Amino acid sequence: MDYTRSEPFDSSRLVGTRSGRARWYSACYAEQYKQCCPKRDELCRTRQIMTENTKPEPSESSLLTEYQATQDSAQHHDNLVWSVTSIMWGATLVLMGFIFSSLKEVTLRPLIMIVSTLGIALTIAVWVFALQLNSVKRQKYARCKEIEHTLHLRQHSTLRWTGGSQRIIYGVLMGIIIMIWIAILWTVWTNKPPATGDGSQHGEPPRLKRSVLFTPSSDC
């Protein structure tokens, strides 16, 4: 590149100053860069347009393969949600039945409190897990609809249903389970048996008090 300037350079102002010469060279380079920058940007845009135009379109067979894989993945995530949910609901009902039959057992109160706390944590975890998997499932089915639009298919595009109703019912059921666990935990925490001292608080039958017989003294 030619870094000469159009006007004559007054070297008397920069004699003996290294920073002055550096500023002058920088100014010359900036002027040359301003002149070539528009040409470079235009060349980059031309290359980008050529790359986009020459990008190969996916074939019909590759779209069908992607469609099948996406649909299988969506069904897998949906089955995974209901498998985990069914296991959690079954285990919850069994534990609640055990707890309801053992509420009067004083020795089991710490265990009941631990199980109730664990039940609340597991229910919230499964709920979050289900929401995330449902989000992945919806994205998969959205991609299936895009491929159907490209290939003029109608398997998922023509389906009509009430959106969000299943998620609402699922959330209501999960909320009811969490409320039941909280009620059990609160009942066990607040209803503490009174200390009678006769052994009845440990599940033992009350002890019979022995009567004391007073006999008259022989001195009377």
Confidence of residue 201 (pLDDT cuts 50, 70, 90): very low
Does the pTM of the predicted model rise above 0.75? no
Average the pLDDT over each of 6-10, 120-124, 149-153 and give the range with the smallest value. Answer: 6-10
What's the pLDDT at 176? 95
Compute the average pLDDT of residues 185-200. 67
More confident residue, 27 or 46: 46
Compute the average pLDDT of residues 75-101. 92
Confidence of residue 51 (pLDDT cuts 50, 70, 90): low
Compute the average pLDDT of residues 64-87. 93
How does DSSP assign 12-52, residue by residue?
GGSTT-HHHHHHHHHHHHHHHHHHHHHHHHHHHHHHHHHHH
Sign of the CA dihedral with 144 first, then 145, 147, and 148 last: positive
Does residue 42 carry a pLDDT above 80? no
CA distance 81 to 129: 8
Compute the average pLDDT of residues 184-196. 75
CA distance 42 to 36: 10
Confidence of residue 75 (pLDDT cuts 50, 70, 90): very high
Share of the chain above pLDDT 90, in %: 37
Report phi then psi at 168, rounded to 5: -65, -45
Report phi then psi at 38, rounded to 5: -60, -40
Compute the average pLDDT of residues 4-27. 52
Closest CA to 69 of 2, 143, 123, 18: 143
